[in-house]
Structure 1
Amino acid sequence: MKTTFYMSLLLAGLHAVAHGQLLPSHHNGHDTNEHKHHAHEAIACLKLVPNNADFAFQFFKEITLEAPNKNIFFSPVSISTAFAMLALGARSTTQTQILEGLTFNLTEIQEKEIQEGFHNLIHMLSHPEGGVQLNMGNAIFLTEKLKPLKKFLDDAKALYQLEAFTTNFNNPMEAEKQINDYIERKTHGKIADLVKDMDPQTVMLLATFVFFKGSWEKPFKPEHTEEREFFVDAEMTVKVPMMYQTGRFDLYFDEELSCTVVRLHYNGSATAFLVLPAKGKMKQLEETLVKETVQEWSEHLFQSLVSLYFPKFSISGSYEITNTLSKMGIVDVFTDQADLSGITGTPDLKVSKVVHKAALDVDERGTEAAAGTAAEILTLSIHPTIEFNRPFLMLIFDRDTNSTLFIGKIVNPTITS
């Protein structure tokens, strides 16, 4: 019988401080050598971008099937990173399934290139442009009797900034406290109680976390926020604090998918796509959303003067994702067929379960520009109003790496978890 290890995909809190106007990405005049290094890293992780995006939307489809009509929020890049790191210690079919489950075609890209790409991706995401705070990290908690191979620990530290801790899983409460305290500290209090009801047979837990805090380039004014109705479905209406501003926004109306897309940039390199399907069209959007859709939206955006209403809300998603990943082809690692001998040198290890948790806050606060004031003069012509007063999607990307940081479906903004 295999010893099990518990994988905690710690998905960290996203604190999105809502602002409004979208501007193109700005780059300040950094040192040339720094730019060259940045360019090299960008090229290395560029190879991962299409696959990571495919994985993100496939995972989204699976989760929406499992939890229809519920809020969804997760970080695909966190899940991909954790499993790419696990692949370092996987061998034979187990490793192939993990990498193919992450949508890599192993005839086109080698495992070494994948690992190098993730290393550069983590580095770039951990050093974003000013205005966005994005912390990523990985930790492994090991029972004292489990001695991982030096090569695995060295490689994981070098490629994934892995931290390793000794943990007494025989005392589940003590182990839970150690792990949850670590995660809570690393995510600035956003992710609490990540693991619970731990199996005392656990010998290893792998945790991956992401923390994001962004501010819109132009904040919503708190005095303009008012309570308005949000139509959860045909039968249910709730009251939500609705933020408001009028300004020029990047828009696209996708006639084929019957949805309105508004793009908002954060200060720094993060961008949010807010996607409002027409009534009754959410299911169609969920079933057909792929990376090419987002690419098409990006290419067809146009600037328009609109009145934008967007809810102020906090949600979190917590998932046991073993079954979801199994449906995507990552099977053996959770069974007695698992070969994780690259971690300990022996094949008697399997993953018992994978827990992933993410949180999102959206409010008016944001960083005002420190210098210069410009009064916005708006003509009094009739302009469209876009109100996010029914279920919508929120996709958050990093522009420098084209990475899908977070995907959310907000069905009821008054339900926090």
Structure 2
Amino acid sequence: MKSTLYLCLLLLGLHVQGLPEPGHSDEQEEQKAVHSPGDHSQVEGENLPHLKIAPGNAEFAFRFYKQVAAEGGDKNIFFSPLSISAAFAMLSLGARAATCHELHKGLTFNMTEMEEREVHEGFRHLLQLLNDPHREVQLSMGNALFVDDQLKLLQKFLDDVTNFYDSEAVSSNFQDISEAKKKINDYIERKTHGKFVDFLKSLDSDTVMILVNYIFFKGYWEQPFSSLLTKDADFFIDAKKSVKVKMMHRSKVYNVYKDEKLSCWVVEIPYKGDVSALFVLPDEGAMKQVEDVLLKETVSNWAKSLKSRKIHLYIPKFSISGCYDVKNLFKKMGVTEVFGDQANLSGMTENTSLKVSKAMHKATVDVNENGTEAAAVTVVEIIPMSLPIPPPPVIKFNRPFMMIIFDKTVHSILFLGKVMNPAASED
């Protein structure tokens, strides 16, 4: 009988309120250079490890988004594709044969163009860059294995998860479910700065391992909104339904692009540091049209087409969340073997057959005047088995829109979401 592996992914994002920074004139702000997510420096070279996995991570992000959107109906969407990718890439260190191949394919890594080791080297480099303490944004990502003290893991697997994913192996007593659960929940709460409390509500009695990935992000807008300009306004969920929101407003210079072909506005709002948020506003009734062509090439084209210009920007404050059964979504994306009795995770342990029993991801984001705070956790439970002359355009995010938080240092999407109803209560 196989042990089960429980993969739980947790994501949190929070914008922090604040006042505009003093000492910045409109002229200074308008002269400030704003870099787009598409400006990948050629000087860096395409052979850096984290750049090799960037295309696969981006493609996976949009594949997963589309699978969520296909089932989500009119619900808000928010998740961390990087947290999910890192967790399953780390898991693949212990996978063999078809199970390993299927995981790599599901994560959209082209293994005909790179070696398996390059995937893990890429994540190692990515983690080093994300966790650089000298960056202007507060950003951290990490992993941990909570292992039953009766389970003997292979030394190579332990060495690999430490070397590539900087993961610590924490001996845990899964015979005492409450004790094990508390240890894991305390770790998650600490690493996400208190954003996730008592994340694990229960554990299967035959759980022998929990794999956790977390990501936490806290950034401040390069040009904060003034709370004095935030007013009550209508947000139109559809043609027949609207809700009241707190609408932020700013008339300043941003990088923007009007995609006439896809009928949407794209606005980049940069954070201090090397992270930006892309807000995508489809024309009324055009959301599906935009979602259907949401690919890394589409976003790259938007990024390259962004031009600095003054706009009248209106965007709501919002707090949304989402909870996803990643196991169910992955199976629909063709990743099935790791969840079944045919799973080959023999690279983890010699004497115990393992499989993934659950994979969950939870995310939340709160957008306010001054910045963004976001976090994600992945937990795996294992049981045996240029400026125009015309007047500035008015871009009003008063209908469903998308949000992409992009880290330019690692060329990776940290968070991806869709706001259908900014006033909806959290899941």
Q: TM-score, normalised by structure 2?
A: 0.87
For 1:3-402, list aligned pairs within 5 A: 3-11=3-11, 13-17=12-16, 23-25=33-35, 43-127=48-132, 130-346=135-351, 348-365=353-370, 382-402=391-411
8 A contact 1:251–1:260 mirrored in 2 = yes
Of the candidates 402, 416, 419, which is equivalent to residue 407 of structure 1?
A: 416
User: Any conservation in 1 of the 2:15–2:369 contact (CA below 8 Å)?
Assistant: no
- Whether the 8 Å CA contact 1:52–1:80 is kept in 2: the answer is yes
Pair 1:366–1:3, CA change in 2 (3 A): closer
2:5·2:356 contact (CA, 8 Å) conserved in 1?
A: yes
SS in 1 for 2:193: coil
Alpha-carbon offset, residue 39 of structure 1: 5.2
Contact 2:254/2:268 (<8 A) preserved: yes
TM-fit CA distance, 1:381? 8.1
Shift of residue 384 of structure 1? 1.8
Spell out structure 1 runs of 4+ moving beyond 4 A: 17-22, 38-42
Aligned-residue offset at 1:9: 2.2
Q: Quote the residue 2:39 is aligned against.
A: none
Residue 172 of structure 1 deviates from its aligned partner by: 3.3
Taking a change above 3 Å as real, the CA distance of residues 234 and 171 of structure 1, as seen in their structure-2 partners, is farther
Amino acid at match of 1:384: P
Cα separation, 2, equivalents of 1:305 and 1:400: 26
Partner amino acid, structure 2, of 1:23: A
Deviation at 1:414, TM superposition (A): 1.3
How much has 1:245 moved relative to structure 2?
A: 0.9
Measure the CA separation in 2 of the matches of 1:389 and 1:129: 37
| Distance of 1:388 and 1:327 partners within structure 2 | 32
Rounded to whole Å, the distance in 1 between the matches of 2:103 and 2:167 is 19
State the shift of 1:128 in Å: 6.7
Tell me, yes or no, if the aligned pair for 2:34 and 2:255 is still in contact at 8 Å.
no
Partner deviation per Cα, 1:3-51 (whole Å, 9 max, x = no partner) = 112112233x22345889773359xxxxxxxxxxx95897111111111
Task: Among all aligned residue pairs of Structure 1 and Structure 2, give the percentage whose two residues are the same amino acid.
Answer: 50
Q: Answer yes or no: is the 8 Å Cα contact 1:340–1:346 preserved in 2.
A: no
The one-letter code of the counterpart of 1:2 is K
Quick check: 1:141–1:165 contact (8 Å CA) kept in 2?
yes
SS of 1:137's equivalent in the other structure is strand
Residues of 2 paired with 1:105 and 1:245: CA distance? 43
| Paired residues of 1:339 and 1:347 also in contact (CA < 8 A) | no
Deviation of 1:175 (Å): 2.8
Contact 2:78 2:363 in 1 (8 A): yes
Gaps of 5+ in 1: 27-37, 368-379
Match in the other structure for 1:33: none
The one-character-per-residue Cα deviations of 1:190-227 (angstroms, maximum 9, x if unpaired) are 22333223211111111111001111111101111111
1:125 Cα deviation from its structure 2 partner: 1.3
State the distance in 2 between where 1:292 and 1:39 align: 20
Shift of 1:312: 1.0
Deviates more, 1:42-51 or 1:214-223: 42-51
| 1-structure distance, mates of 2:322, 2:401 | 16
Amino acid across the alignment from 2:399: R
Distance 1:324 1:315, change over 3 A: same
Give the distance between the partners of 1:215 and 1:221, measured in 2 at CA: 13
Return the offset for 1:329: 2.3
Query: Structure 2: 5+ residue runs without aligned partners?
Result: 21-28, 37-42, 373-388
Contact persistence 1:42–1:120 (CA under 8 A): no
**Which piece of structure 1 moves more, 47-56 or 16-25?**
16-25
- Cα distance in 1 for partners of 2:280, 2:259 equals 10
Equivalenced residues, count: 393
Q: Is the 8 A contact 2:143 2:211 kept in 1?
A: yes
Partner secondary structure for residue 48 of structure 2: helix
Distance, in Å, in 1 between the alignment partners of 2:173 and 2:420 is: 40
- 1:130–1:267: 8 Å Cα contact kept in structure 2? no
The two structures, once aligned, show a CA RMSD in angstroms of 2.3
